[in-house]
Amino acid sequence: MIAMEIDFRIITFPDWRLTVFKRFLSPFLALFLGLTLLFSFQPSARAASPGISLSITSGPPTSLVNVTGSGFGVYETVELSFDSHPISAATTNSSGAFTKKITIPAAALPGVHTIQAVGQESGLSAQAPFLVQTNWPMFGFFSTHAHDNPYENVISATNAASLALDWKYHVGAGAASSSPVVYHGVIYIIIGDALDALDATTGVLLWSYPAGYGSPAVINGIVCFDVGDALDAVNATTGALLWSYPIDAGDEVTSYPTVINDVVYFGTSNGLLYALNVTTGTKLWMFDTGGGSNAAIFSSPAIGSGVVYFGTWVPYDKLYAVNAKTGTLVWTYTTGGFIPSSPAVVDGVIYFLSTDHYLYALNTSGVRLWRYFTLKTGLAASSPAVANGVVYVGAAHTLFAVNAGTGKLSWDYTTGQKITSSPSVANGVVYVGSFDHKFYAWNATSGERLWSFTTEGKIYQSSPAVANGIVYITSGDGYLYAFHLPGSDR
């Protein structure tokens, strides 16, 4: 306790009252003043350092990110910037904390960027990295199979003519019909007897796992793929087996898997469509077309608004619509030929090609909106791509661009031989391969050929993947090719 002598003579009291005050209250007053002085000289607690956290740390341009900050001044404005460019502002609460949703700029190029928060009154600041990265996680880009990457901002119609070979990877002849997929900077491709995982920038092999046919699909760090008589799932990072779902004896997986909402969908040679839990491999339901091997499903299922769409082989010649949650039939539509390719679902319209040589557009009730006659040759193996109101599809040796609303031809381009590759679209450029050994890029609006590259083999059913300024395609010469813009920062 701090000793203290208080001179009460400066206070005017009657003598007896002063005596009482000094005797009984003086010690308490001294204690109070002493404690006040004691704590007033204690060092103040150090304020927490400012910091921010992000709800997601990677994603494509236009991603929505919640930024949470703490340790700033109370009730102050905090400016949020992306690579030093202001994009939003937040106001802190009484604890100096805030939460604000921001949008990653559409022009943000692939790579690591910085999100920064600066208090406008306190001057306190904090930052966190954000990786701009786009996935092409399955055949057709997404479960709707539009084959359109809306986030691409490196390659465009103005610079596609400068595309050059970046690297190529020998995968063997089995890759001729496999479409590459891209997920978190890794390419996954099936080469006929193995699923290979490659670094998407360098083409270096990361790991390999025995596989069957077709193209894989990736979701939540899980790769699903065909191994012939089963559908397998492995860890996307390590290649370790997570589960395997065997199908009935005498049956085979015949369609590329499609994943969405923790469910993987795929078809078989006996006309069965399966839905499995993608985490556990547990069967959720199975739909039987009733046609056995005559109704084989080569069509990769497309999902839109809770409905799965797929086509079947002869003699059924049908497009099926099945409830994605229950596996119950919604409707069927019969064409004049079988449907080996995959439909696309965009803005409530289903587009698909049939061997009766028509490109169809149906509404979600199964009513035909229009059909466009292509050419009386070819297997109709090309799946349509849909972007910016135009449907692109290969038939015979021609790429057709058809108005998605009216079914009228916008433009077409004839290659040296037939097209069974499915086109892909990104940032105003449409890409497709041909049996004439060439890989093409056209202006998606005008049909002007911008660029082509000659491989050593025919390009069969492989569909291009376009992500983060790189275009990937496989050829019958046994190589996976990667093309980029020389000098681009990848």
Q: What is the pLDDT of residues 312-324, one digit of tens each?
A: 986 678 999 999 9
Q: Would you state the pLDDT for residue 287?
A: 97
Does position 210 have pLDDT exceeding 50, yes or no?
Answer: yes
Q: What are phi and psi of 24, to 5 degrees?
A: -100, -30
Q: Would you state the pLDDT for residue 13?
A: 42
Task: Determine contact, residues 380/337, Cβ cutoff 8 Å.
Answer: yes
CA 376, 403, 467, 227 dihedral sign is: negative
Q: Would you state the pLDDT for residue 375?
A: 79
Round to whole Å and give the CA distance between 490 and 484.
9
Segment 185-210 shows an average pLDDT of 93
- How far, rounded to the nearest angstrom, does the alpha carbon of residue 67 sit from its chain's CA centroid? 21
Q: Would you state the pLDDT for residue 176?
A: 62
Round to whole Å and give the CA distance between 126 and 81.
11
Does position 286 have pLDDT exceeding 80, yes or no?
Answer: yes
With cut-offs at 50, 70 and 90, classify the pLDDT of residue 6.
very low
Residues 245 and 368 both lie in one domain: yes
Q: Are strands 181-183 and 438-443 parallel, antiparallel or unpaired?
A: unpaired
Please tell me the chain's helix, strand, coil percentages from 3-state DSSP, rounded to the nearest 5: 10, 45, 50
Tell me if 444 is assigned to some domain.
yes
Q: Which domain CATH number covers 122?
A: 2.60.40.1930
Say how many domains are in the chain.
3
Tell me if 141 is assigned to some domain.
no
Tell me if 490 is assigned to some domain.
no
Round to whole Å and give the CA distance between 254 and 275.
14
Tell me if 97 is assigned to some domain.
yes
Tell me if 436 is assigned to some domain.
yes
Range of the domain at 74: 54-132
By percentage, how much of the chain surpasses pLDDT 90?
Answer: 79
Helix orientation angle between 26-40 and 15-24, rounded to the nearest 10 degrees:
50
Task: Determine contact, residues 212/227, Cβ cutoff 8 Å.
Answer: yes
Round to whole Å and give the CA distance between 80 and 92.
12
Domain boundary among 102, 132, 162: 132
Residues 15 and 64 both lie in one domain: no
In single-letter form, the type of residue at position 70 comes to S
Does position 241 have pLDDT exceeding 90, yes or no?
Answer: yes
Q: Would you state the pLDDT for residue 136?
A: 98
Residues 230 and 323 both lie in one domain: yes
Residues 118 and 174 both lie in one domain: no
With cut-offs at 50, 70 and 90, classify the pLDDT of residue 249.
confident
Segment 40-61 shows an average pLDDT of 75
Segment 164-168 shows an average pLDDT of 97
Q: Is 35 helix (H, G, I), strand (E, B) or coil?
A: helix
In whole angstroms, how large is the CA radius of gyration of the chain?
A: 32
With cut-offs at 50, 70 and 90, classify the pLDDT of residue 230.
very high
Question: Which of 176, 171, 214 minimizes the C-alpha distance to 459?
Answer: 176
Q: Would you state the pLDDT for residue 295?
A: 86
Q: Which domain CATH number covers 188?
A: 2.130.10.10
Residues 212 and 326 both lie in one domain: yes
Q: Would you state the pLDDT for residue 378?
A: 62
Torsion over CA of 259, 260, 263 and 268, rounded to 10 degrees?
Answer: -40
Residues 72 and 208 both lie in one domain: no
Segment 324-334 shows an average pLDDT of 97
Domain boundary among 132, 159, 179: 132
Residues 107 and 167 both lie in one domain: no
Residues 426 and 286 both lie in one domain: yes
By percentage, how much of the chain surpasses pLDDT 70?
Answer: 88
Mean pLDDT of the chain: 89
Q: What is the pLDDT of residues 145-162, one digit of tens each?
A: 999 999 999 999 999 999
Segment 401-428 shows an average pLDDT of 96
Tell me if 143 is assigned to some domain.
no
Residues 61 and 31 both lie in one domain: no
Tell me if 1 is assigned to some domain.
no
Residues 97 and 166 both lie in one domain: no
Q: Would you state the pLDDT for residue 21?
A: 40
Residues 67 and 188 both lie in one domain: no
Residues 70 and 118 both lie in one domain: yes
Tell me if 137 is assigned to some domain.
no
Round to whole Å and give the CA distance between 186 and 42.
56
Q: What is the pLDDT of residues 434-484, one digit of tens each?
A: 999 999 999 999 999 999 999 999 998 889 999 999 999 999 898 999 999
- Report residue 319 as tokens: 């497009």
Does position 231 have pLDDT exceeding 50, yes or no?
Answer: yes
